[in-house]
């Protein structure tokens, strides 16, 4: 078994990074939701996390109505 297949692809976003990340639309703080997205509680946009990298582009966000 090679070492790449054993590598755990989970990447956690550090608390220090979360402190400085803001929504690119409304500039409010983002909240980590599991390992799949960052959510803005102000404008309700959820930004995906792909391969451990937050994709903070407005056109990539989904707007949650609930």
Yes or no: is domain 3-63 CATH 1.10.357.10?
no
Q: What's the gap between Cα 1 and its chain centre? A: 31
- Best CA proximity match to 37, nearest among 28, 45, 46, 26: 46
In this prediction, residue 11 carries a pLDDT of 55
Burial 24-41 (b: 16+ CB within 10 A, else e): eeeeeebebeeeebbbbe
Per residue of the chain (66 residues), what is the pLDDT tens digit? Answer: 444 433 444 557 888 999 999 999 999 999 999 889 999 999 999 999 999 899 999 999 999 886
pLDDT at 8: 42
């Amino acid at each position: 078994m090679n070492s790449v297949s054993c590598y755990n692809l989970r990447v956690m976003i550090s608390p220090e990074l979360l402190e400085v990340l803001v929504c690119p639309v409304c500039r409010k703080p983002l909240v980590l939701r599991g390992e799949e997205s960052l959510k803005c509680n102000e404008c309700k946009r959820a930004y995906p996390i792909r391969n451990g990298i937050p994709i903070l582009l407005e056109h990539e966000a989904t707007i949650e109505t609930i």
